[in-house]
Structure 1
Amino acid sequence: MRIEEESGSDRGEEEDEAVKEMERGIEDGREEDREKIINGERKVGRGFCIKQYFIDEDDTVPQKIVLRLDSPRGTHFRRAGPRQRVVFDSDDVVACIVTCGGLCPGLNTVIREIVCGLSYMYGVKKILGIDGGYRGFYARNTIDLDLKTVNDIHKRGGTILGTSRGGHDTTKIVDSIQDSGINQVYIIGGDGSQKGAAVIFQEIRRCGLKVAVAGISKTIDNDIPIID
């Protein structure tokens, strides 16, 4: 009996082409292609289905990579990344991005990737940039962000949103988030900014708001572990 199988390279090329075609469909407004990506299903060839980009809820990252067999379990961190369950309907999402603290390389690249990911992968249409760090929330300084706005910002230094130290007033920030209808907050900052993000999340939870807070670490001082 002779059994023929696809080679790994052939299958890889087939998958890549299917992904490209689906992305072209999204750009052309084909809703069925966007739904397939949102559901994590990319149909390839003869019914071959790929599940990609999802992080298991039980995945962790150890603080210490090299251990001895008799070492204690040690500290583990929950692994960041997209989950298979989509919590927010894309039509209802109002996302915002803020950069806080000092400058470091790559800030515009991070902003661009968030906007592209929300737009291409999830179909989010309303994304705001908070101008000038934490104080920009209650100063009502916002910038509309879309694919055209962020197209080439990764080629520039600094941050197109501006940044500042301090200005963290938890009550004013959460009030502004609620008043603006924001339900996804992406905070790019160092150790101090991430502590501020944790405080914002705690206040949001205390108020019973359905708002997700994502802390994205950056540092010029190399004082945040694990992010490598």
Structure 2
Amino acid sequence: MQDSRIRTVNPADGLPAHFRRVVSFHPRGGRLNDVQRRAWNEHADHWYLDPESFSPQNPFDGDAIFGRSAPLVIEIGSGMGESTAAMGLARKDINLLAIEVYKPGVAQTFHHLARAGVENVRVMRGDGVQILTDLIGPGALAEAWLFFPDPWPKTKHLKRRLVNPAFTELVASRLRRGGVFRLATDWEPYAEQMLAVCATTKGLRNAYPGWAARPEFRPRTRFERRGLAAGREIFDLEFARR
């Protein structure tokens, strides 16, 4: 599902024009359960960032938002946030911006952050591609994470997969020199597509001869456990910005 209302990118930032047309999905609603409603009411003021508060003229400033100077990392599609909280706790050296389109997922993330006592994570609800395009400045990111995106396995839906040349070019443009793009999937055809697209993206180089090792800070996610239970292999990728 795509959002045709994407805001215009400031041409002065030097982005190729096709980035302006790249979007991944339209924000969905969803009813909150009692735990999620309580988490939203109690913690949104602390952890939630409204994307409408930023613009191409007022881009996201990680140091100002987090109140400290630390490498900025973005997670696209943080889901229900259990692994996000664990990764934030394991990587206290970073400022982690988690992007999730589904409101119950955002609220559940607040619940996990509160339980784990995580302070170096902020959550934004919206389209990850639009946020990267409009709000994150070129070279601003130390890392970008895309763990277990929807594989869209049916042939008629392949065009909906997030990882395509325009997307990887966008990610590369937002990474600082030496910055890292980490991906993971349990769907082998999508893994092959990820590898091929990233390998041909100008400015990215594979940090491994092929598949990467699973990062020590990334826990076994719900999707990963489900894939393993179904007998599927997990594929990790790690590409660095030249």
- The structure whose Rg is larger is 1
Please, what TM-score do these two structures have when normalized by structure 1? Answer: 0.28
Q: Which has the higher helix share?
A: 2
1 or 2 for the larger relative contact order (CA 8 Å, sep ≥6)? 2
